[in-house]
């Protein structure tokens, strides 16, 4: 008897939102969450593999696509979850993605047999009887895990995901309106103005006040601009103040600096490491490819300085996250940029430019070339968040937290809904509850649920894509509830991305 042919194997990435929101810049940032059902062994976390969902510069998708796990009850009928996306992987392995609960899982043939035994409504004893199989103990264990993962559902339970209150209030702090680069796609109307200390302290106070008043459990601060390293002393002061407020309020605190990497000194990097603030650096290509769209005002390229910063960060134990903005200029060079990230084991995100000028065909071609590079060097970190705004690790109905769980504070203390729309302010941190001001704002674009987006309601990918950036949809189609202008690229690339994630789970399952 060859038990390898009869033991269900289920590999998955945890759907915990803590994965996305981790705050450290170094190795402790990485959660380990490979889950394997193998025979009757205890559930075990992989000891070595590190997985990490990529972050991006936007407000995270609302972390409110709650899955309520079910304990398998022998007395009631269960059925395989509806709307499962399934695709073959390699050998007899298959991937399954459940838009109503836990994200991607990889199944071997015995695991699939257990799942498919519930194609029709059945109790567990009925399903076991239908399985012409000696290993009922294994099958029972697998069925219990499927129920916990949401792949099996009690008959009659709603197919609509349960949306709960997001746990994290995310705030963009516009530390300065100045920048030392002139990137081609920048949406900031730059001046030499910087946030002062009084304004910054008032902003952090107001953010924590909002978080407590609205029942959040965590605050995430994004130190941004402009280029925040140009006002670095304020970053560290606000960090210290936020740390104090978090300790006294019991709120969890996560922080990230969004930097172009050009002016970060050794002392700044030491401070970032010691404060356990994550670091996101922008890099759009190798050499001239990057420099064509990320240059100083005098035309000097930034590539060499960014790479020098990456090297110095790595030497200090900081793992910077690379933000790669994809435009018509660099799309054909994505493969070499991704190879750079993979060689250094850096998490990265491919952000499709929030403007016009890059076609879906160009994006698809460029990203496909990058995916081919990834397939030959599968990383330890998850791929489920690397593609633009996609969050394929957990279902969510809103693309981002705008209007719900995201506040933007500009350098003067004015409140805005989106960092790409700073001119449209809705209040001031010295007078208002920032989140309430945002929730009360009308007359601007709407960030509606994907269930309210014409053209997205029936899409296979709706609870992972959520329809894309609503502001970009408004600018390009006149309607914020229209599918993303990048929809064609999303639909072409998501299947290829989840296939790679499945291969990645198989690749690292024993590490
Ligand atoms: S934008 Fe396109 S891929 Fe995304 S949910 Fe809408 S229809 Fe689906
Ligand atoms: S509206 Fe668009 S640009 Fe603004 S936070 Fe949301 S996804 Fe990002």
CB of 468 shorter than 6 A to ligand 1: yes
Q: Among the atoms of ligand 2, which is closest to the Cα of residue 417?
A: 4
Distances (CA, A) of 448 to 5, 99, 280, 451: 47, 18, 28, 8
The reported pLDDT for the residue numbered 68 is 56
What gap in Å lies between CA 457 and CA 312, rounded to an integer?
A: 46
The topology (CATH level 3) of 168-495 is TIM Barrel (3.20.20)
Q: What contacts 272, CB < 8 A, 6 or more positions away?
A: 25, 257, 264, 279, 318
Q: Kindly give the distance from the C-alpha atom of residue 437 to the centroid of ligand 2, in angstroms, as a whole number.
A: 18
Strands 406-409 and 84-88 come out as unpaired
Mutate to test the pocket of ligand 1, among 99, 481, 490, 494 (most ligand atoms within 8 A of CB): 490
CB of 387 shorter than 6 A to ligand 1: no
The reported pLDDT for the residue numbered 9 is 81
Q: Kindly give the distance from the C-alpha atom of residue 459 to the centroid of ligand 1, in angstroms, as a whole number.
A: 6
Structure tokens at 300: 């000097």
Which among 281, 494, 487, 471 has a CA at the least distance from the CA of 384? 494
CB of 25 shorter than 6 A to ligand 1: no
What gap in Å lies between CA 30 and CA 33, rounded to an integer?
A: 9
Q: Is the Cβ–Cβ distance between 234 and 186 less than 8 Å?
A: no
Residues carrying CATH 3.90.930.60, the chain = 3-51+68-160
Q: Kindly give the distance from the C-alpha atom of residue 511 to the centroid of ligand 2, in angstroms, as a whole number.
A: 37
| pLDDT average per 10 residues of sequence, the chain (511 residues) | 62 46 23 28 24 53 54 87 90 88 84 94 92 79 89 78 80 98 94 98 98 97 97 98 98 98 98 98 98 95 98 98 97 98 96 88 98 96 91 86 95 96 95 93 86 93 93 93 97 97 89 64
Nearest CA to ligand 1 atom 7: 456
How would you label 56-71 residue by residue, b for 16+ Cβ within 10 Å and e otherwise? bbbbbbbbbbbbeebe
CB of 397 shorter than 6 A to ligand 1: no
Q: Kindly give the distance from the C-alpha atom of residue 455 to the centroid of ligand 1, in angstroms, as a whole number.
A: 7
The reported pLDDT for the residue numbered 25 is 21
The reported pLDDT for the residue numbered 51 is 32
CB of 456 shorter than 6 A to ligand 1: yes
Structure tokens at 12: 């998955």
Give the number of other CB atoms < 10 A from CB of residue 158.
Answer: 8
Start-end of H helices in 188-343 = 197-213, 232-249, 266-274, 288-291, 303-315, 334-343
The reported pLDDT for the residue numbered 43 is 24
Mutate to test the pocket of ligand 2, among 62, 186, 396, 399 (most ligand atoms within 8 A of CB): 399
Strands 218-225 and 252-259 come out as parallel
Helix axes 109-116, 136-149, angle to 10 degrees: 70
Q: Kindly give the distance from the C-alpha atom of residue 6 to the centroid of ligand 2, in angstroms, as a whole number.
A: 47
CB of 459 shorter than 6 A to ligand 1: yes
What gap in Å lies between CA 410 and CA 488, rounded to an integer?
A: 34
Q: Tell me: the pLDDT tens digits for 182-232?
A: 999 999 999 999 999 999 999 999 999 999 999 999 999 999 999 999 999
Give me the torsion for CA of 462, 255, 258, 215, rounded to 10°. 40
The reported pLDDT for the residue numbered 159 is 59
CB of 486 shorter than 6 A to ligand 1: no
Predicted TM-score (pTM) of the model is 0.88
Q: How many helices (H) and strands (E) does the chain have?
A: 15, 18
Mutate to test the pocket of ligand 2, among 55, 57, 59, 485 (most ligand atoms within 8 A of CB): 59
Q: Kindly give the distance from the C-alpha atom of residue 463 to the centroid of ligand 1, in angstroms, as a whole number.
A: 9
Distances (CA, A) of 49 to 23, 46, 54, 341: 19, 6, 16, 17
Start-end of H helices in 65-192 = 109-116, 124-130, 136-149
The reported pLDDT for the residue numbered 132 is 75
The reported pLDDT for the residue numbered 40 is 26
The reported pLDDT for the residue numbered 122 is 95
Q: Kindly give the distance from the C-alpha atom of residue 134 to the centroid of ligand 2, in angstroms, as a whole number.
A: 53
Task: Dihedral sign for Cα 501, 507, 510, 511, please.
Answer: negative
Give the number of other CB atoms < 10 A from CB of residue 134.
Answer: 10
Q: Among the atoms of ligand 1, which is closest to the Cα of residue 466?
A: 5
The reported pLDDT for the residue numbered 30 is 21
Q: What contacts 304, CB < 8 A, 6 or more positions away?
A: none
Mutate to test the pocket of ligand 1, among 397, 487, 496, 498 (most ligand atoms within 8 A of CB): 487
Q: What contacts 443, CB < 8 A, 6 or more positions away?
A: none
Q: Is the Cβ–Cβ distance between 103 and 494 less than 8 Å?
A: no
Q: Kindly give the distance from the C-alpha atom of residue 358 to the centroid of ligand 2, in angstroms, as a whole number.
A: 18
Q: Kindly give the distance from the C-alpha atom of residue 78 to the centroid of ligand 1, in angstroms, as a whole number.
A: 30
Strands 65-66 and 348-352 come out as unpaired
Structure tokens at 18: 């803590």
Nearest CA to ligand 2 atom 8: 58
Q: Is the Cβ–Cβ distance between 25 and 276 less than 8 Å?
A: yes
Structure tokens at 186: 């920048």
Tell me which ligand sits closest to the C-alpha of residue 401: 2
Q: Tell me: the pLDDT tens digits for 231-252?
A: 999 999 999 999 999 999 999 9
Distances (CA, A) of 368 to 333, 350, 365: 11, 12, 5
Which among 306, 305, 420 has a CA at the least distance from the CA of 353? 420
Nearest CA to ligand 2 atom 6: 400
What gap in Å lies between CA 486 and CA 467, rounded to an integer?
A: 9
The reported pLDDT for the residue numbered 47 is 21
Mutate to test the pocket of ligand 2, among 470, 480, 481, 486 (most ligand atoms within 8 A of CB): 470
Residue pointed to by tokens 């071609």: 365
Residues carrying CATH 3.20.20.70, the chain = 168-495
CATH annotation of 3-51+68-160: 3.90.930.60
Question: What residues line ligand 2, using a CB cutoff of 6 Å?
Answer: 58-59, 354, 389, 399-400, 402, 418, 420, 469-471
CB of 455 shorter than 6 A to ligand 1: yes
Structure tokens at 236: 């560290």
What gap in Å lies between CA 386 and CA 187, rounded to an integer?
A: 22
Nearest CA to ligand 2 atom 2: 469
The reported pLDDT for the residue numbered 264 is 98
The reported pLDDT for the residue numbered 72 is 78
């Amino acid at each position: 008897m060859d038990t390898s042919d009869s033991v269900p194997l289920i590999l998955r990435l945890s759907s915990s939102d803590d994965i996305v929101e981790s705050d450290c810049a170094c190795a402790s940032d990485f959660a380990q969450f490979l889950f394997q059902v193998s025979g009757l062994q205890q559930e075990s976390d992989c000891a070595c593999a590190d997985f990490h969902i990529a972050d991006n510069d936007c407000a995270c998708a609302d972390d409110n696509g709650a899955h309520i796990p079910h304990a398998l009850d022998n007395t009631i009928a269960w059925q395989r979850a509806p709307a499962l996306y399934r695709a073959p992987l390699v050998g007899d392995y298959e991937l399954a993605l459940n838009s109503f609960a836990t994200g991607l899982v990889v199944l071997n043939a015995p695991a699939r047999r257990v799942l498919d035994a519930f194609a029709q409504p059945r109790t567990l004893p009925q399903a076991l009887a239908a399985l012409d199989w000696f290993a009922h103990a294994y099958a029972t264990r697998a069925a219990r895990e499927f129920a916990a993962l949401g792949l099996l559902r009690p008959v009659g339970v709603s197919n609509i995901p349960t949306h709960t209150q997001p746990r994290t209030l995310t705030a963009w702090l516009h530390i300065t309106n100045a920048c030392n680069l002139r990137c081609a796609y920048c949406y900031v109307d730059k001046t030499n103005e910087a946030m002062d200390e009084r304004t910054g302290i008032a902003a952090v106070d107001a953010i924590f006040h909002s978080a407590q008043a609205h029942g959040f459990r965590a605050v995430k601060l994004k130190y941004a601009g402009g280029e925040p390293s140009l006002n670095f002393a304020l970053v560290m002061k606000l960090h210290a103040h936020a740390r104090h407020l978090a300790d006294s309020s019991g709120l969890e605190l996560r922080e990230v600096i969004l930097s172009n990497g050009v002016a970060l000194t050794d002392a700044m990097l030491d401070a970032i490491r010691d404060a356990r603030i994550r670091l996101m650096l922008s890099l759009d290509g190798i050499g001239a490819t990057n420099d064509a769209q990320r240059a100083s005002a005098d035309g000097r390229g930034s590539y060499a300085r960014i790479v020098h910063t990456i090297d110095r960060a790595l030497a200090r134990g900081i793992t910077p996250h690379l933000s790669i903005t994809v435009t018509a200029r660099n799309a054909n060079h994505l493969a070499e940029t991704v190879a750079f990230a993979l060689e250094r084991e850096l998490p990265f995100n491919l952000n499709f430019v929030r403007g016009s000028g890059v076609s879906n065909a160009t994006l698809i071609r460029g990203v496909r070339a990058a995916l081919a590079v990834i397939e030959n060097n599968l990383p330890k970190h998850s791929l489920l968040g690397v593609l633009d705004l996609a969050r394929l690790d957990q279902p969510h109905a809103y693309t981002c937290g705008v209007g719900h769980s995201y506040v933007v504070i500009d350098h003067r203390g004015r409140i805005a809904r989106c960092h790409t729309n700073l001119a449209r302010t809705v209040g001031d941190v010295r007078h208002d509850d920032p989140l309430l001001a945002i929730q009360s704002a009308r007359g601007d674009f709407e960030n509606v649920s994907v269930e309210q987006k014409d053209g997205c309601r029936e899409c296979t990918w709706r609870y992972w894509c959520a329809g894309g950036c609503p502001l970009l949809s408004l600018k390009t189609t006149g309607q914020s509830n229209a599918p993303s202008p990048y929809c064609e690229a999303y639909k072409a690339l998501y299947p290829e991305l989840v296939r790679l994630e499945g291969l990645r789970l198989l690749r690292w399952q024993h590490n």
